[in-house]
Amino acid sequence: MKAGILFTGSGPILILTTYESFTDQKLVEKLVTKGIKKFIAHTVAIDMVQKKYGVHFSIVMGDLKQTDDLRVLDYDGYHVFNTFSFKEMGEAVYYEP
């Protein structure tokens, strides 16, 4: 499992995914269906995400209605942006069609 912050046109979201790359074509296709066509992604450590989100992380991971390959952990851009420091984010990955 990999965690990442995606900066999109409507603000940052925090996702969990099993894809190795944020630019994997299948992941990109899933994001497009959610209206996300271009983004800047930063990896964040999964153990840090689990610690910061606690019970909410466990609930999202246990939600049987979501697929394992893409789970949105937090779509409140203000909250995501202020929960992580820039030092906690990995290198930027840019995607646009």
Convert the pLDDT of each residue in 51-62 to its tens digit: 999 988 887 887
SS3 at position 93? strand
pLDDT at residue 69, as a whole number: 83
What is the share, in percent, of the chain residues with pLDDT greater than 90?
Answer: 75
User: Where are the domains positioned within the chain?
Assistant: 2-95
Q: Which residues contact 44 (CB under 8 A, 6 or more apart)?
A: 3, 4, 5, 14, 84, 88, 89, 90
pTM over 0.85: yes
CA 35 to CA 33: how far, in whole Å?
Answer: 5
Mean of pLDDT values over 62-85:
84
Which phi and psi angles does 92 have, rounded to 5°? -75, 140
pLDDT for residue 66? 58
